[in-house]
Structure 1
Amino acid sequence: MEGQVPKSLASCTSLEILNLGSNQISDTFPCLLMKISTLSVLVLRSNKFHGGIECSEIYGTWQRLQVIDLAHNFFSGGISGISLPSSLTKISNIYWSEFRQLNDLPPETIGHEYFDKYFEEAITVTSKGLNMKLVKIMAAFTLIDLSCNKFNGSIPEYSEIYESLQVFNLSNNDFTGEIPSSFGDMLQLESLDLSQNHLSGKIPQKLAELTFLSFLNLSNNQLVGNIPTGPQFSTFSKASFLGNKGLWGFPLDNMVVLSPPRSHGIPPKSAHKIDWDLIDIEIGFVFGLGIAIGSLFFCKRWRKWYYRVMYNIVLMIFPQLDQRIGNHRRHVYIAPRWRR
């Protein structure tokens, strides 16, 4: 499909899932859809959407949006005022509340039956580095995918409103600044992809405390410092940290990376690597010099030839020395004859 998102969709007040992915739609972010309070899944991936994604509050706010996929478009600008739901942590509580009311359960009842509620709709999302087709969308599943766009600026601090987020993908953008330490508060986070950006600074130690994190990709940024240690971080491969020249520590211990800083001015130990190319040049120079000098000492014929060549060179540079040296030479050879 081509063209723009029909404005009449804002009148579908009972709409729960809108999947416009993999088309040729060229439009700005459809802020009118924020009037649909029942919307839970919004997929706009692989189109030609462009511009910013910030919307005015006059359009309303999403109360139940749990999946928003804007990947592979041309969105730009920052996301500090991102028009995402301000109640992601309430999503599970909403469905649990509905389940209690439906089954006439007391408020203090805690159970997991509400997880059996699904949306009977299949969508394709990127989770844990792979394209996955969700045949059924669990009511408590939360995902934000803004990858492969032109977003820039710093990543805003996300606090308790994103506590229940499970998949977060901001890869292949132009984000700068540091990784917010508040990402460590996403206790339900299972997949985090920040690769292919311009992020700098250190990896927050709090990320190592996320017990559900099973996929992490921070590759191709400008991160520095020691990689945090933790039960989950020890399971990640080198590919999760490649392309960050300033990172060191496990699992990059055996790779060519910057050495950790040393205290008290002690220089880091360097590996004793022999540069054979340089040694070959030095050996050749010494060997050639030795042959030349040895020939002068031990070969009379070579020595005479060498003196004669040097003499001619000196006369070419200083021709006025020829007469003076010639007179001296005649004096040297005549004196022996006079003694006879």
Structure 2
Amino acid sequence: MTFEEPTEPTTAPARKSGRAVVINVLRWILIALVVAAAVWQLWVNWEAVAFTIGDLQWHRTTLSFIAVIVGMACATLSWQVLLDDLGKPIGFGRGAQIFLVGQLGKYLPGSIWAYVLQIELGNKAGLARARTFAATLFSVVIAVFAALVCGSVAIPSLMASDPRLSWLPWLYIVLPFAAILLWPPVLTAIVRIGFRILRRPRPDHPVTLSVVAKSLGLAIGSYLAFGTHLWLLADTRQGLTINPWALCVGTMAVAMLAGLAFFLLPSGVGARELVIIAALTPIVGVGPATAYAAVSRVMFILADLLTAGTAAGMAVIARRRLGPYTGDPDPGPAAV
């Protein structure tokens, strides 16, 4: 009888570095602390929160939810304007699937997963990774620029109502850099260098000012819609007047920026609510402000799921009607 010596596996499973383990542990501790703080805030103010939620007007709540969806549509189009300018247009159905389904990655700790998922979904749809990466990167810069512009109307009120937000003006350090990056000659140079490094055919025309302006206008439109969402949801005691609306627009822009700054948190949970509560507390009180922040978060989650599912269905219909997308030469092995 002979015994065969066990063969060692050719590749050993990779071990996470000590630094990666520490960062992962700290991330989950941070998430636990944020969740615990949110639960405590709800518990302390539960009577006012429950009353506020029960007192919501269904027609304004419905319009508020529709405003969230409009804002997401504007954000999608802002991204797709850039994507389509870098090559053969892919169509709204397929583009919406890439952007909106990819956005679900933000609910994982570390917002980078949304961008990674968008790039891979784009590659599967037939887009070169370099093209999707460029469109996603520039859309983030445009979104930050638009948020800083819209948020400027709310920052003085936010700082006055909550000293913990005194750091907000520091966000404007990035404004001149974002403006430089969005200048068409600079944007064109970055695109060409990036495509050359990734060994992909560069676009056959420079990025134009009209494309940047259209994408920026749609990004601003998304914050106007998100602010209208908060205005319809929360401004039940002040009446539909322009001052609370402008405050809500600026608040949602700053809240989105805060969520982006605290990228370790899934979808900026906690940071966004802190900004909303700080803005609304002087108007409606801390209990109702907490309730509105919680309802807003739930609406965004539902809208994310609804729009992603709808976009996935639109992409299937587009594929059946138009066939596979063949706009980018050699997009990669994952393309179908």
TM-score scaled by length of structure 2: 0.19
Higher relative contact order (CA 8 A, sep 6+): 2
- Whichever structure has more helix as a proportion of its residues is 2
Structure whose alpha-carbon radius of gyration is higher: 1
TM-score scaled by length of structure 1: 0.19
